[in-house]
A and B are shown apart, each in its own frame.
Chain A
Amino acid sequence: MAVVEEIRPTTDALLKTKAPKRPANMGQFLRWFFLFLGGIAMVMPIAFMISTSLKWPHEVYNLRLIPEEPTIENYTYVLEDGRFYWWFVNSIIIALITTVCNVIFDSLVGYTLCKFKFPGRYIVFIAILSTLMIPTEMLVIPWYLMSQQFGWLDTYWGIMFPGLMTAFGTFLMKQFFETVPDDFIEAARIDGLNELQIWWTVAMPLVKPALAALAIFVFLGNWTAFIWPLIVTNSVEMYTLPVGLSSFGDEADVQWELIMTGAAISTIPTLIVFLIFQRFIIRGVVMAGLKG
């Protein structure tokens, strides 16, 4: 008797939960289906860019995603010309140097504002914070005049100087240095390390994930930067990839397979980096987005 009574409610409960389970699974399938369709739609522009860059001119205007006779002719043509090669090298150099500078200086300033007590700290903090409100577009005219005056037009330095330090990076790093215990720094001081050594050998290794997040953001930002390089460069050899692609697109006019090749050349490197470090980059984006 007792056994039966114990079983009955459980079977009831089982039946109850089982009944609505089928629609729930159906719902889950629909959810997956629509998200999948949406995801495919999201990458379609990228897929068509790459597929068209592998097509012969006569095939360009059909709707096939997979080229009938794939060719790398467009790539050899575009690269033989040499300009994309320079632009690629320019973009790499500029993005790398800017990234290294940001990683060093933003973290140094963030660390100082976080771990030192000194007169003027609050003023420096507020001053740097306030630069977040100033849009780049407001500064390009004075930067241009400055570059003209000092002969920085059309040089790497001219392209790079506005972005060597950023307030965003400084605050990101400051937030993360808050998580480094003061005891570690105190212990290092007792061990006789000077402040520069403490920052570099004790504090910096503890915020490596944040440094990586910052590096990703700065690199991507400079790799895709357009308006300032467009203004500051005049000669074709000094263009960065986006500026070069923009001028190339105008010149190639209706040869869309060549334009797609150029677009692919400037997009594929970041896509590959993303596919390799996917988890890492997404975590970095969340960190930068929520803390910065």
Chain B
Amino acid sequence: MRVLLRNPRREVEVAGRRSVNALLRELGLPRESHLVIRNGTLVPGDADLADDDEVEIRPVISGGV
């Protein structure tokens, strides 16, 4: 599957079906500070991701106060 990462914006290819939580763990990204969008729709941590999915992992942390 094609995975879009942000800050900085880049794309990675990940092969094989897995859950959202598993993908975040593999990429070393904390669940609490990221959302995952599959084919344009927000999905929870136990959602399955397949090879033909387009996935965006969006960080949610802002630095300013």
Q: Do these two chains interact?
A: no
Interface residues in chain B, defined as those with a beta carbon under 8 Å from any beta carbon in chain A: none
